[in-house]
Structure 1
Amino acid sequence: MNRQLHWITGLTMGTALTLAGCGGNGSSNSNRQVVPASARSAPLLVMHNGSDNKGQIDRLGPNLAVEATFQSNANEGMVLDLLGNLYAASDISASPSQFQVVHRTSSRPDEATSNLGLDREVDAPGSANLKGVAIAHQAGLIFAANVGGNSIEVYGTAAGEEATPLASTSLPGNAWDLVYNETLDRAFLAMTNGTILVIDNYVAGDFSAMAARTITPGDGMAVSNIHGIAYRADIDTLVVTDVADPGVADDGKIFVISSASTAEGMVTPDRTIAGPSTLLGNPVDLILEGNRAFIAEKSNDAILVYNNIFAGESGDIAPSRVVDSVKPEALIRDATVPLGDDVSDIDDTRISIEGVLVTSNPPLMGQPDVVVLDTDLSMVTRSFTVGGSLESVSVNQLGDVYLTADNAMTPSEGSMAVINRLGVARDGEMFSLSRDRMLSGENTGLVSPKGFDIADGLGLVLVTDNGDPAVKVFGAQAGGNVAPLYKTTLSVAPWDLDYDPDSDTLYVALVNGTVAVFEDYSVDRGTGGPDRTITPTIGGMPITAPTNLHGIVYVADRNALIVSDVGSGANGTDGKLYVIERADRADGNTPVAISIDDGNNDAVGNTQLGNPVDIAWDGSSLYVAEKSQKQVLRFDNLFDSEGGDVAPDASFAQNNPESVVLLPDYLAPARDENGLLQSNP
C-alpha cells in the first residue's frame, strides 16, 4: 500500500483511536468512538509513587491485571513516543528534576530494572519539580509542567545527560499537567489554582503564554486543584480531574468541558462527577480511550474506570470498575503504531522520498557538514552543522539522525551523535545540547566507527568499528559514556552493514572484498563467527585485488545485495558497484549479476566511480556518496542495467561526501490527540 496512506490511517495509543461522528457534546451516540480491539488489548502502564513503590511501572493486561513490573528511575508523569519509548519525569532526587527515557517499556521482562545501556537520563537544569509531560511527536519536543517554578519547560526528545532547556514558558501559576494537540498547535494546562490555561499557537508562538485563555470550571468558590487533563479533539472536549485538598481523601471531582478550544472564563461543566460513591479523593491523572476514562486515584489506591464519561447525569456517580493499585501517579496506554520500513530497507518505489541527506568529511572551510539535497540532485534544500570528523549517517522513523564520527587527533576516540528531528527540519542550525546528544567515551569501546543501521523494531543501533574489528550494538535511546549491549568480534575489519529485520539477518561489508553474513543475529549475536561468507566473483574468479567493500544494501523484495567497492583507497578512479543475487543462501564464491565498472582502474570512465564510500536505495534508484570525485551520484533502474561503463543518471558536486541516507515522507509523523497519525506536510 502507499506508505503515506499507511501513516495517515495507522492507529496509535492513548486516547481515542478511531474517529466516528464529529459534532458537539450531545447524546452518547454522537460521542461514540470505536476503539479497535488491538488498542483495547494493548498494555496499560501505571507509574507508582508511594513510599514503597516509587518509580515502579506496572504493565496491565486487557483484564487490568498486572502482567509485569519494571523499576524505573522516575516517578511522575509519563508519555510514549511512536516507537514505544517512555519519557517520564522524576523528582526522586533533589532539585533539579530529571527525565528518564525508558527503552520500549512494554517489552521489558518482568522485574527488570533501568539499564543505562538501553535507557537514558536527561537532566532538567533550572526545574523545580517536574510533574506532567506531553510530547510533540513531529517537532520532537517534550513539554513538562514545572510545579514550584510556575513554568512549562521545553526539551528536545533526543537530548542527553547534559541537556539544557530549549525554552521556558512563564505561567501565572503552577501547572500540574498538560495535554498538547500538535495538529492544532494548542496546549491545555491543568493549573493547581483550579483553572485551565489554553495556549493557541504554542510552538509557533515561541512557547509564550502571554495570550493564553483561562477556563474556570464550576462556581469558582470551592477549593480546586486541577491535576489530570485529557482532550478528545473530534468533539472538542476536555476531561479534567480536581484533587481539591490533597489532604482530604473524598473531595475529588471530574469535570467534562465541551467547546474547549474556544471556552473562556467561568464555565459550567457539561458533567461534574463528585461524591462518596465516586471514590475520588486525589485523582492525579487520567487518560481517555474512546468514551472511557481511566483515572489514577492516588489517595484511595485505585484505578477508576468510567465507561461512558461524556454522557450521563452529574452527581455522585460510581465508577464502572475499580482496580486496586497502590499510589498510582500516572497512566498511559501503549498501543504502538504500525511502523514503516527502516530507511535502510526501502524497497517500494511508491514511497515518496523527500530528500537525500549527505555528510561531508571534511566539508569546505566554513561550510556545513550535513546537507539535504532534492532527489533530482539539483539543489541543497537544507543544511546543518554537527562538527567533528563525520562518517556514516542514518535516520530513525521519528526523524532523528544518527551519525558516527572518529577523532583524527585521537584515533581511539570514536563517537556517535543523535540529532533531534534533523530528518525533517532544523535548516541552518547546529548541534545543541538542548535537543541533541552524544554517545562517546572509553566505555563505548568505539575506536573508528563507520557504517551502521538503526533497527527501529528492536530499538537497537548496530555499528561497525573499523579500528577495533567488530559490530557493536547499542540501545537506540542510550547516550553518554555507556558500553555496548554486546559486540560481535570480526577477524577482518568491517566498513558498513545492513540488517534485515524480517529474516533477522545481518550483512557486513568487509575491507577484504567479502561479505560476512550472520543469521538469527538478534538471538545468536554472532557468536561463533559468520554463518556464511560471500566472495563476489566475475568470470568464475574472485575479484582481483585491490577490493575493499564499503557501502552495502540488502534489497529484500529482490533477495539481492548491492555493494560498493572502493578498490584502493589511494586510487581515486577504481570504484565499482556490484549486484549479488540470491543473497539469502549465497555462500563462498558467488557470481556478480551486475557490475558497474568502466574496466580501467586508471581512469574514472563514465561511471564517475572512484571511492564510492556509501550507498542508499529507494526501490529503483541507487544513490552513491562518491568521495574521490566529490560527487553524489544517482543510478536509476539499477536492476535493469546491463552493467559496464554506465554513466549515472544524475549527479551533484559535493565536497568529500562520506555518507548518504534517504528521507522518506513517513518520518516524524504527528499524532493528534485522537490518536491518528498525520504524515509530514
Structure 2
Amino acid sequence: MKNLKMTLGMILGTAVFLTSCDDDDKDATPSMVSVYTTNNSDGNINIYISGSSMTMTTLTTSSTAADGAYFDGTSVYQVSRSKNSIEGFAVTADASLGGVLDVSASLTSTSDMTSPRELAVNGDMYVVADNADADGNADTKDGRLFVYQKSGNNFTLRNTITTDIKLWGITFIGNDLYAVVDTENKLAVYTNFLSNMSSTSLSASKTVAIEGLVRTHGLTYDSMTGTMVLTDIAAASDPENDGGIHIINDFMSKFNGVASGGTIALSDQIRISGSNTKLGNPVDVAYDGQAGVLYIAEAGNGGGRILAFSNIGSGGNLTPSMNQSLAAASSVYLYKK
C-alpha cells in the first residue's frame, strides 16, 4: 500500500501542479484531482484523490463485476455487470481519508441490460452501451444503447436504441454521442442523440476508420484541448503487449474533414504502443488535457493495471509514469475540482 500511495501521489500531484499554476496565478489553490476506477474482478470502486495530499480509498460494493464509471461531485456511479444496472453511491468526506469503506447503493436503475459496458452522461440523461447480441443472430453486428433519466434518487429507463454496430466505449461531445465500433477500427457518431425519444433502431450519422488502429474499445474527449483519445486492444487473444493508444489533436476539424466511410490518417494522430507501455488490452481511458496526463484501464497486461502516461507529445514506446495492479480493470474516470 505504501508504494501504491507514493507512486500514485507523484503522478496525481504532478497533474495538480500543472493544472492549477501559471504565470498569472501563482498563488492559486491546487485543484483536487480524483481518479475513479472499476473492475470485473470484485466489483469494487477504487478512488485516488490528490489535493494537498494523496489518498486511496476502496468502496466495497455488493456487485462482483462492474464497468463504466462517473462522478457528479457528490455521488459515484458504476455500471454493474453482475446486476445489469446502474448503481449510485453517495461519496462522503470519509472517502478522502483512505482505506476501505463498505457502501450501499443510494440509487439503482432497473436491471434491463445484458452485457453493459461504458456509461456516458449528458445532464440528467445516463446512457449505457450494451455489447450483447441484440437480435440473436451472431452473424449480424448490433448492440443496444439504454437511455436512463435521473430524477432525484430514481433512474427511469426512457428508451432503448438498437444499433447496427457492435458497441463498447461511448462519450458525448455536446449533444452528439460518439461510439467506438467494437471488433473494428472505426468511430461512429449519432448526432443529436437524445432527440431520439422512443425505442427504435438507429444507424450512425457518420462512421470513419482510424488508420493504424486494430480494434478499438475505450474513448474520451477533452473539450479544453479539442483532443480525442481512443484505445486499441488489437488482438483480444494477446493480453500483454500488442495494445496502443491513439491521440487525435484538433479532433473535430479532422473528423469533419473526412467523409463518412473515410479514414483519419495515421499521420494525423499520435500513437503510443510497444513493450515498455504495458498496453495489452487497454479498455478505457481518461485524459487530463491541462496536465497532459492519460489514465488507462488496462484489462490484460499482468492481469490488469491502472496506467498513466505524462509525456505523450511524440507518442512511441513510452514507459508509464504510473503503473499499479488492478485485476480486470474495466473503466477509469477523471474528476477535477
Give the TM-score normalised by the residue count of structure 2. 0.75
Flag the 1:637–1:375 CA change in 2: closer, same or farther, 3 A.
farther
SS in 1 for 2:286: strand
Per-residue Cα deviation, 1:429-462 (whole angstroms, up to 9, x for no partner) = 32326xx122133xx3x11110011223xx1111
**Paired position in structure 2 for 1:416:** 86
Contact kept? 1:439, 1:478, Cα under 8 Å: no
State how far apart, in whole Å, the 2-side matches of 1:522 and 1:570 are.
35
Match of 1:560 among 214, 222, 227: 227
Cα distance in 2 between the residues matched to 1:471 and 1:510: 13
Matched, 1:361 2:37: no
Are 1:635 and 2:303 matched, yes or no? Answer: no
455 and 422 in structure 1: CA distance in 2 versus 1, 3 angstrom threshold? farther
2:264 alignment partner in structure 1: 590
- Give the match's secondary structure for 1:425: helix
Separation in 2 of the partners of 1:510 and 1:483? 27
Q: Shift of the alpha carbon at 1:635?
A: 1.0
Q: Contact 1:580/1:590 (CA < 8 Å) preserved in 2?
A: no
Alpha-carbon distance between aligned partners in 2 of 1:614 and 1:379, rounded to the nearest angstrom: 23
* 2:160 alignment counterpart: 487
Q: Give the aligned partner of residue 460 of structure 1.
A: 125
Q: CA deviation at 1:625?
A: 0.9
User: Secondary structure at the residue paired with 1:489?
Assistant: strand
Partner of residue 60, structure 2: 385
Give the number of aligned pairs. Answer: 282
Q: Which residue of 2 aligns with 1:507?
A: 178
Report the CA distance between 1:466 and its aligned residue.
0.9
The ranges of structure 1 where at least 4 consecutive aligned residues each deviate by more than 6 angstroms after the TM superposition are: none
Which residue of structure 2 lines up, in the alignment, with residue 614 of structure 1? 284
CA 1:621/1:425 → structure 2, altered by over 3 Å: closer, same or farther? same
Residue 7 of structure 2 aligns with which residue? none
In our comparison, the structure showing a higher alpha carbon Rg is: 1
Cross-structure match for 1:439: 109
Secondary structure of residue in 2 paired with 1:617: strand
> Any idea what SS the aligned residue of 1:359 has?
strand
Of residues 27, 31, 43, the one that matches 1:352 is: 31
CA distance in 2, matches of 1:400, 1:424: 13
**1:646 and 2:313 matched:** no
Question: Structure 2: which amino acid aligns with 1:404?
Answer: V
- Cα distance in structure 2, aligned partners of 1:574 and 1:607: 10
Aligned to 2:165, what secondary structure does the other structure show? Answer: coil
Aligned partner of 1:373 among 34, 42, 48: 48
Are the aligned partners of 1:400 and 1:423 in contact in 2 as well (CA < 8 Å)?
no
Distance 1:465 1:452 in 2: 10
Aligned to 1:123: none
1:548 to partner: Cα distance: 2.4
Q: What's the CA shift for 1:523?
A: 2.7
Aligned residue type for 1:647? T
Following superposition, the deviation at residue 483 of structure 1 comes to 5.9
Deviations 1:338-381 (A, max 9, x none): xxxxxxxxxx9348243222223204xxxx822222569x9752
Task: Write out aligned runs for 1:461-476 (5 A).
Answer: 461-467=126-132, 468=134, 469-476=143-150
- Cα deviations across residues 510-567 of structure 1 (Å, max 9, x unaligned)? 21221111222233569752121120014xxxx4xxx321110112233331001112
Alignment check: 8 A CA contact 2:285 2:295 kept: yes
Query: Deviation per CA, 1:52-107, whole angstroms, max 9, x where unpaired?
Result: xxxxxxxxxxxxxxxxxxxxxxxxxxxxxxxxxxxxxxxxxxxxxxxxxxxxxxxx
Partner of 1:579: 247
Classify the secondary structure of the residue corresponding to 2:194.
helix
Task: In structure 2, give the amino acid aligned to 1:357.
Answer: Y
8 A contact 2:294–2:309 mirrored in 1: yes
Structure number with the higher helix fraction is 2
Give SS of 2:251's match: coil
Tell me by how many angstroms 1:423 deviates.
9.1
The 5 A counterparts of 1:112-191 are none
| 1:21-42 per-position Cα deviation (integer Å, ceiling 9, x unaligned) | xxxxxxxxxxxxxxxxxxxxxx
Q: Which of 55, 63, 77 is equivalent to 1:402?
A: 77
Specify the SS of the correspondent of 2:151.
coil
1:192-226 Cα deviation digits (max 9, x unpaired):
xxxxxxxxxxxxxxxxxxxxxxxxxxxxxxxxxxx
Aligned counterparts of 2:203 and 2:39: Cα–Cα separation in 1: 33
Matches within 5 A, 1:44-55: none
Following the alignment from structure 1 to structure 2, what is the Cα–Cα distance between the partners of residues 385 and 451? Answer: 20
Inter-partner Cα distance in structure 2 for 1:494 and 1:424? 36
Q: Provide the rounded CA distance (Å) in 2 between the counterparts of 1:590 and 1:400.
A: 37
Please give the alpha-carbon distance, in whole angstroms, between the structure 2 residues aligned to 1:479 and 1:527: 29
Q: Which whole-Å CA distance do the structure 2 matches of 1:633 and 1:659 have between them?
A: 12
- Residue 27 of structure 2 is matched in structure 1 by none
Could you list the runs of 5+ residues in structure 1 that have no partner in the other structure? 1-347, 408-412, 599-604, 666-681
The structure-2 alpha-carbon separation of the partners of 1:380 and 1:575, relative to structure 1 and needing over 3 Å to count, comes to farther
Q: CA deviation at 1:643?
A: 1.9
Task: Measure how far apart 1:488 and its partner are.
Answer: 2.6
Residues 96-120 of structure 1, C-alpha deviations (whole Å, 9 max, x = no match): xxxxxxxxxxxxxxxxxxxxxxxxx
Which letter does structure 2 place at the counterpart of 1:636? S
Q: Find the residue that maps to 1:645 and give its secondary structure.
A: coil
Work out whether residues 211 and 265 of structure 2, in 8 Å CA contact, stay in contact via their aligned partners in 1: yes
SS in 2 for 1:558: coil
Give the secondary structure class of the aligned counterpart of 1:578: strand
Which residue identity is paired with 1:509? Answer: V
Unaligned runs of 5+ in 2: 1-17, 21-29, 135-142
Equivalent-residue separation in structure 1 for 2:185 and 2:178 (angstroms): 13
Q: Tell me by how many angstroms 1:384 deviates.
A: 0.9
